[in-house]
Chain A
């Protein structure tokens, strides 16, 4: 890894959203305050800028390569919409590390709307990470609104880790996907809101192909007076399997709404939804207190474990 000229704040955000201190190996694009400040293609992964967004082409057969595309907003009042499109060839095995961090210490609102579209080729395996993070004590709000669309071809496998743990005042995340024959999608979503934050998540999956499967696991914690809503829609149009599980811990005066929706349009569609919302059980806190933790320590252990 080579060192790079990021500011301290930018480095802190990079560490949070993509786990990096410096420029990574492989292909990447770093977008800071609306501009691509550093970009590199690799032999198998082309990273181009088209209409202000990224077009990323991953050659068929590319294995064990990654592309990092972190976004940082550190100027107050910046509002942007960015469209990035990924064309992932057949028979690949790649990792996409997205993620956005906002630092807002001013009084104007900062907003990032990221639209990612992934065309995943046949027999390909894609791991997609997206972590959202906000910091800075300014009065200006920090908003992140990602829309992610996945079109998975036959026999492909896509795993998505979507995480927003701290500092984002409002978010509306939409994740749409369409799966062809034997394509498999796994979505792990982790969401925590506190203060007056609001978060809304819609995950809609269309199981078009035979033997296509989706597994959605959402875990959420809502603290203080924050509000969350989670809507999962699984449409089964063929012999397919869909499972979604939404677990939420509600605390203080927070509100959580979970709306499951299963839409079977084939007699061979097997769709399951599980949803549970509840406070931390008193017995769980008591147990950890008997092991020497204070009540506050016990609560944070339970929450951190739950969101891990």
Chain B
């Protein structure tokens, strides 16, 4: 179980303090599939980055299976069982797709490429560099998180840059993963929202609603 208690985050902007996250307390039960949605700038990405340790909250606590992990760094959160798929995947010259998946812990890297609809023969030995398209990079990013096989998997807008064909694959990937992982996914896509257990709507750095997918689709937006 992953839990945040009164999580806040603010930045200094033009000499003034600006609140990005305001006192967020949420609970993510084991093997739950939660979609976080809401307008741009509502604090969704910052919130999930706090969960991974990429952003340090100004106030509040993060508990993972009862343990306070607020001061743990990214590496130790990853080792404890949290993984994170970036909205904008990075390129790393000299690191091959195979290397990345092996670092992530994949014993059979080919299997994870197939899951995201990429042919291992064509992609395993390629560098994660500018020679790959945005969509390809994104799928490799998702594969690297699936390869972690961690208890909690966080995806920041996994649909961004993914074409229609692979979008079906993506939905299937999440359907399978939700059986034995906690999934926290930032998404605006109805097809992803539909298969979630819960939808959390962010607005202006706060939680506006915690509702079911049905309620969300019927118009509680």
Contact = CB atoms under 8 A, between A and B. Distances in A.
B181 to A, nearest CB: 15
A301 B95 CA distance: 8
Nearest to B141: A287
Nearest to B154: A290
A125 B99 CA distance: 32
A140 to B, nearest CB: 33
Find the residue from B79, B86, B94, B99 having the highest chain A CB count within 10 A: B94
A292 B79 CA distance: 5
Shortest 10 CB-CB distances between A and B: which pairs?
A305-B94, A306-B94, A289-B74, A305-B95, A292-B78, A283-B90, A290-B84, A291-B104, A289-B75, A287-B90
Interface size class of A (residues with CB under 8 A): 20 to 34
A205 B119 CA distance: 40
B164 to A, nearest CB: 27
Given A289-B75, A290-B52, A301-B103, A281 B95 contact: no
A31 to B, nearest CB: 33
Nearest to B80: A292
A293 interface: yes
B83 A307 contact: no
B120 interface: no
B161 interface: no
A222 B73 CA distance: 27
A178 interface: no
A96 B37 CA distance: 61
A143 B78 CA distance: 43
Interface of A is mostly: helix
Interface of A: 219, 247, 281, 283-284, 286-295, 301-302, 304-308
B93 interface: yes
Contacts of A219: 94
B2 to A, nearest CB: 15
Given A292-B105, A305-B94, A287 B86 contact: yes
20 contacts: A281-B90, A283-B88, A283-B90, A286-B54, A287-B86, A288-B92, A289-B73, A289-B74, A290-B83, A291-B100, A291-B103, A291-B148, A292-B104, A293-B75, A295-B75, A301-B103, A302-B94, A302-B95, A305-B96, A306-B94
A305 B96 CA distance: 8
Contacts of A281: 90
B144 interface: yes
Nearest to A289: B74
Nearest to B54: A286
Nearest to A302: B92
B75 A294 contact: yes
Contacts of B92: 284, 287-288, 302, 305
Interface in B100-118: 100, 103-105
A293 B92 CA distance: 15
B90 A284 contact: yes
A46 B96 CA distance: 41
Contacts of A291: 78, 83, 100, 103-105, 144, 148
Given A289-B73, A291-B104, A291-B144, 16 more contacts: A281-B90, A287-B89, A289-B78, A290-B74, A291-B105, A292-B75, A292-B79, A292-B148, A293-B103, A302-B92, A302-B94, A305-B93, A305-B94, A305-B95, A305-B96, A308-B94
A294 B73 CA distance: 9
Contacts of A288: 92, 103
Given A287-B86, A290-B84, A247 B74 contact: no
